[in-house]
Amino acid sequence: RKEVEQDPGPFNVPEGATVAFNCTYSNSASQSFFWYRQDCRKEPKLLMSVYSSGNEDGRFTAQLNRASQYISLLIRDSKLSDSATYLCVVFRMDSSYKLIFGSGTRLLVRP
């Protein structure tokens, strides 16, 4: 079982739609959580951090459920430019100090 799991998609939605992605993580020692965005043939870039109380950045809302060990990302009023792969990322500091990436969920927003 992968340490961070995501539905690969693709999620194909019309402009203006609301779409939600979920991610589960298996290591309860995980400390910090992030969503990264990766465009086709580009490097991953930080979209937003995920805080326990939930947080919002414009049209994007991230939530964390530590008890169930899952993270979500909600995108409202989807734009064509939101088309990308969204990577769920978990950070834990045990014997190592590293980020663990999910394999990503692909989003396609159509006109």
Partner 1 sequence: DTAVSQTPKYLVTQMGNDKSIKCEQNLGHDTMYWYKQDSKKFLKIMFSYNNKELIINETVPNRFSPKSPDKAHLNLHINSLELGDSAVYFCASSQPGQAPGNTIYFGEGSWLTVV
What residues form DSSP beta bridges with 24?
5, 70
The tokens 């043939």 sit on which residue?
41
How far the first Cα of the chain sits from its last, in Å, is 37
The closest alpha carbon to 71, from 52, 47, 45, 94, belongs to 52
Given the rule CB under 8 A, which residues bind partner 1? Answer: 8, 31-34, 41-46, 49, 85, 87, 91, 96-101, 103-104
Closer by beta carbon to partner 1, 59 or else 98: 98
Least distance to partner 1, CB of residue 111, Å: 25
Least distance to partner 1, CB of residue 75, Å: 19
Closer by beta carbon to partner 1, 79 or else 98: 98
Least distance to partner 1, CB of residue 10, Å: 12
Closer by beta carbon to partner 1, 51 or else 77: 51
Least distance to partner 1, CB of residue 21, Å: 15
CA distances from 16 to 65, 77, 79, 87 (A): 27, 4, 7, 22
